Amino acid sequence: MRSCLSVLIVGVACVSSAAAQEFPTRRAGLWEVTINQDGGKMPPQVMQQCTDAETDKLMNAFGGDLSADLCAKQEVRKVGATLVINAVCQIGPMKSASQSVVSGDFNSNYTVKVTSKIEGIPAGAQGMAGGTTTIQAKWIGACKPGQRPGDMMMPGGHTMNVRDLRKMMEGGLPPGAPPQR
């Protein structure tokens, strides 16, 4: 759960505040999101997201808020039908330089390819000094019964809602408290 949440937060932070404003809203419904890092060095992380226009904008704004606080450089360019996002971010002693290329159709499928280099990695974690992460998302239909917009179903069956994630990141929930439903 923690590794998937970490990957999700890093993926969300790759979207700058400027890019969040330019991201199209995804089609409402259930999306399957697969995160692959460095061509198979780690097993793919697969999750599902139930979304609607409001929660999709909330997720993009959340990513924009994270990157605005952490990133000294944020540049967004449209290149044809793609968005190219370059960012330089500082997270404690670690400095990350990344380029994200976003392509596809936000009604059926899209891909985000993030290439990064991270400096200042603590000893023992040098294997995480950067590389390539590919996020592939495809629309699979209506949300399942009992799901609410913003729900993210993580590997292992844990579900959290983007609203709860935002509260946790802002310190709204005590450590170890389960997300509120």
Q: What is the pLDDT along the chain (181 residues), one digit of tens a residue?
A: 444 444 444 444 444 444 555 677 899 999 999 999 875 567 889 999 999 999 988 877 766 666 677 788 888 888 998 999 898 988 788 888 989 899 999 999 999 999 988 888 777 666 666 788 899 999 999 999 999 999 999 888 889 898 887 677 666 444 444 444 4
Q: How far apart are CA 135 and CA 125, in angstroms?
A: 22
Residue 177 is assigned to a structural domain of this protein:
no
Residue 176 is assigned to a structural domain of this protein:
no
Q: How far apart are CA 166 and CA 173, in angstroms?
A: 10
Torsion of the alpha carbons at 76, 134, 24 and 107, rounded to the nearest 10:
160
Residue 175 is assigned to a structural domain of this protein:
no
* Domain total in the chain: 1
Residue 181 is assigned to a structural domain of this protein:
no
- CB contact at 8 A, 33 and 50: no
Residue 144 is assigned to a structural domain of this protein:
yes
Sign of the C-alpha dihedral, residues 63, 152, 101, 3?
positive
Nearest to 35 by CA among 136, 158, 104: 136
Reported pTM: 0.77
**Full residue range of the structural domain in which residue 18 is found:** 2-121+129-169
